[in-house]
């Protein structure tokens, strides 16, 4: 007979870590599943690209381009190249040189292929860094607040303390970084790294000014702090020239750069990468090479077949993602503008006296709306079930209080018609809430 623990024993033995009761750990699943939970509702919740913006079937052909290239450049037989793609492979990846060229072309980041780890999504890049660099008893992570839940949830799971650094209109409250460093040092712990999304931030949609970029690079250098720069939205600039990444500005080797192909190509690839070109003391290896020990014990290596697909797409586009992204930019720009227009039409003249405010992001997938009441998980359910529109409370991404009145609206995963109806329905919900609060 199979041995089974009763639910009482499971509780008694505390099978799950304490942190499982933390709501932070639910947010990622929630965002992925909310679309399924309210299938008829219009969803402004997920930061997904719309399926019509990528063509998986057509992209599969790029594997052939990669194979042809390998045959030609490495003088291998077709069978050998395909055999390699079906085999376990190099831990840190097989398209590192392709990524190096793309970063040089698109971001003016100059690095060697051995500084790159190709990961199973950017999520694995974060996991590799937290597992490889942090001793939870000693090391503390600073993170912009609100921030991407992928890193804060993971830190919680690994028992790593996170200190919130507030995000301002300029991108980050620089003085809070110095304050946090001093506070952590005073407790005898080490501030190890600062996690930021400088360009078209998730969840706020804001970007760092050049001044803030330069200042935090200096602070990091002076205090021996690493910066984890996460940049999945940087290429999606709608109004202005793209700003240089922290990595491109980094003169002292403080930045570890992370990116994802989920937005530029498609999320089903589960492909991302990190760049860690720091020389490790007492080692002849770069940090990325040392970190391969972590990767070898988590995912062993990232699917070579999927790397071949991305490698092939990069080959076909001359080692640049710009032509691929260019085709999507006008869709996202139009969606953003349309959402802004509809917000102005619905909330600009409804007698709310400017009580509903929203931001105008210069790029990325998200904008922030501030409401005259708190929008929590219960509001989300009522708004989805009764008004047919799903919006994400900003508090889901927050480490500290202060943004309970805000929601994140994503304009990446909706058509114009859906934006039109969705904003109208959101207005109905807002009016109903205000009326109800007045009566209460």
Ligand X SMILES: Cc1ncc(COP(=O)(O)O)c(C=O)c1O
Residues in the site for ligand X, rule: CB under 6 A? 47, 121-123, 148, 150, 197, 202, 230, 232, 260, 262, 267, 272
Q: Give the count of beta carbons closer than 10 Å to the beta carbon of residue 388.
A: 18
CB of 247 to ligand X, least distance (A): 15
CB of 49 to ligand X, least distance (A): 10
Of 264 and 292, which has the nearer Cβ to ligand X? 264
Of 67 and 103, which has the nearer Cβ to ligand X? 103
Of 204 and 343, which has the nearer Cβ to ligand X? 204
Judge contact between 174 and 210, C-beta under 8 A: no
Q: Give the count of beta carbons closer than 10 Å to the beta carbon of residue 83.
A: 11
Of 100 and 231, which has the nearer Cβ to ligand X? 231
CB of 53 to ligand X, least distance (A): 15
Judge contact between 53 and 328, C-beta under 8 A: yes
In 143-209, which ranges are continuous DSSP H helix? 149-157, 174-186
Of 197 and 383, which has the nearer Cβ to ligand X? 197
CB of 32 to ligand X, least distance (A): 10
CB of 101 to ligand X, least distance (A): 20
Of 148 and 429, which has the nearer Cβ to ligand X? 148
Q: Please, is 131 exposed, middle or buried when counting C-beta atoms within 10 Å of its C-beta (0-12, 13-18, 19+)?
A: middle
Judge contact between 233 and 365, C-beta under 8 A: yes
- DSSP assignment of 284-347 equals SSBHHHHHHHHHHTTTSS--HHHHHHHHHHHHHTTS-SHHHHHHHHHHHHHHHHHHHHHHHHHH
CB of 413 to ligand X, least distance (A): 11
Of 59 and 427, which has the nearer Cβ to ligand X? 59
- The C-alpha atoms of residue 33 and residue 128 are separated, in whole angstroms, by 25
- DSSP assignment of 32-44 equals HHHHHHSTTSEE-
CB of 164 to ligand X, least distance (A): 16
Q: Give the CA distances from residue 239 to residues 76, 92, 242, 336, in Å, rounded to whole numbers and listed in that order.
A: 46, 36, 9, 11
């Amino acid at each position: 007979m199979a041995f089974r623990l009763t639910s009482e024993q499971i509780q008694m033995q505390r099978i799950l870590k304490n942190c499982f009761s933390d709501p932070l750990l639910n947010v990622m699943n929630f965002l992925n599943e909310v679309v399924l939970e309210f299938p008829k509702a219009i969803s402004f919740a997920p930061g997904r690209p719309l399926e019509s913006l990528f063509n998986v079937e057509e992209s599969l052909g790029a594997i052939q381009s990669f194979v042809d290239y390998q045959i030609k450049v490495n003088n291998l037989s077709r069978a050998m190249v395909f055999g390699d793609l079906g085999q376990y492979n190099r831990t840190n990846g097989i398209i590192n040189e392709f990524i190096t060229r793309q970063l040089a072309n698109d971001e003016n980041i100059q690095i060697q292929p051995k500084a790159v780890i190709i990961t199973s999504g950017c999520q694995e890049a974060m996991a590799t860094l937290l597992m490889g660099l942090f001793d939870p008893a000693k090391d503390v992570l600073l993170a912009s607040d609100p921030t991407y839940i992928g890193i804060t949830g993971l830190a919680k799971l690994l028992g790593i303390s996170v200190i919130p650094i507030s995000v301002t209109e300029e991108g980050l409250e620089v003085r809070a970084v110095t304050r946090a460093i001093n506070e952590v040092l005073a407790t005898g712990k080490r501030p190890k790294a600062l996690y930021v999304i400088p360009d078209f931030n998730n969840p706020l949609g804001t970007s760092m000014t050049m001044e803030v970029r330069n200042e935090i690079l200096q602070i990091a250098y002076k205090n021996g702090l690493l910066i984890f720069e996460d940049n999945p939205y940087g290429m999606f600039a709608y109004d202005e020239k793209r700003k240089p990444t922290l990595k491109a500005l980094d003169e002292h080797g403080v930045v570890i750069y992370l990116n994802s192909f989920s937005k530029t190509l498609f999320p089903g690839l589960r492909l991302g990468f990190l760049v860690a070109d720091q020389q490790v003391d007492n080692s002849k290896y770069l940090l990325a090479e040392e970190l391969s020990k972590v990767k070898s014990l988590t995912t062993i290596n990232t699917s070579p077949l999927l790397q071949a697909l991305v490698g092939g797409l990069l080959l076909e586009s001359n080692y640049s993602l710009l032509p691929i992204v260019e085709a999507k930019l006008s869709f996202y720009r139009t969606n953003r503008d349309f959402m802004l227009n509809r917000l102005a039409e619905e909330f600009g003249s409804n007698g709310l006296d400017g009580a509903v405010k929203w931001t105008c992001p210069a790029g990325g997938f998200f904008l922030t709306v501030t409401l005259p009441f708190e929008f929590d998980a219960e509001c989300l359910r009522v708004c989805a079930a009764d008004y047919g529109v799903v919006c994400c409370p900003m508090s889901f991404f927050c480490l500290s209080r202060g943004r309970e009145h805000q929601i994140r609206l994503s304009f990446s995963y909706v058509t114009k018609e859906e934006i039109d109806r969705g904003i109208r329905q959101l207005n109905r919900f807002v009016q109903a809430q205000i009326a109800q609060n007045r009566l209460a």
